[in-house]
């Protein structure tokens, strides 16, 4: 067993190159002095040579840990970027949904307001037409009704080619008064 293990780091470098390139320029390290206590040996695996220098193992472990932490940091940053992009996308989608809902609500409200205004207009117009009809009936009744205190005017007219024949009968309280008039019409030549 002892024949397989090198006595110095230089011998190990000659027999087996280091796996990490950053550790190629290490200064030679003296082998630890033999002690009376027996060190606990790391159990061998079939593919690995026995480890005799724990400092090298510590440096390599530190370097591998650094690489793993760097990789994890990059992965965490990428996840953070994707999550922030997705949150922004969700916010935009939510704003679009709200905008569409607001536009639909606005259209419905405007349609309701327009229908209400048309119904109000129709009802007011219908009331106006009823009142107009009632006013016409009352006016026709009063035109045909003779009242002695107010008087009554009745007339006829006839238009010829160049004259207007007008005949008015005015009834006052005492008796009728008939007015007949012929008015010449100006003719353009």
Residue-wise pLDDT for 29-47, tens only, equals 555 555 555 555 655 566 7
The pTM of this model reads 0.36
CB 63, CB 22: distance < 8 Å: yes
Please give the Cα distance from 53 to 60 (Å, whole number): 11
Instruction: Take residue 52 and report the two structure tokens written for it.
Output: 């005799």
Instruction: Take residue 149 and report the two structure tokens written for it.
Output: 């205190």
Q: What length is written for the chain?
A: 189
Please give the Cα distance from 188 to 183 (Å, whole number): 16
Query: pLDDT tens-digit profile of 89-125?
Result: 999 999 999 999 999 999 999 999 999 999 999 999 9
What are the domain boundaries of the chain?
47-145, 147-184
């Amino acid at each position: 067993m002892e024949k397989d293990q090198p006595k110095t780091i230089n011998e190990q470098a000659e027999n087996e190159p280091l796996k990490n390139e950053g550790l190629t320029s290490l200064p030679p390290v003296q082998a630890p002095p033999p002690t009376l206590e027996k060190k606990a040996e790391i159990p061998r695996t079939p593919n690995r040579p026995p480890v005799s220098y724990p400092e090298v193992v510590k440096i390599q472990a530190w370097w591998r840990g650094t690489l793993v932490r760097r990789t994890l940091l990059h992965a965490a940053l990428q996840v953070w970027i994707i999550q922030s992009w997705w949150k922004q996308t969700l916010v935009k989608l939510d704003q679009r949904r709200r905008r569409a809902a607001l536009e639909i609500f606005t259209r419905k409200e405007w349609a309701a307001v327009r229908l209400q205004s048309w119904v109000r207009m129709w009802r007011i117009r219908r009331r106006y037409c009823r009142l107009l009809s009632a006013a016409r009936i009352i006016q026709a009744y009063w035109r045909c009704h003779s009242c002695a205190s107010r008087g009554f005017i009745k007339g006829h007219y006839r238009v010829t080619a160049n004259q207007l024949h007008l005949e008015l009968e005015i009834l006052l309280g005492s008796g009728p008064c008939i007015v007949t008039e012929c008015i010449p019409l100006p003719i353009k030549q």
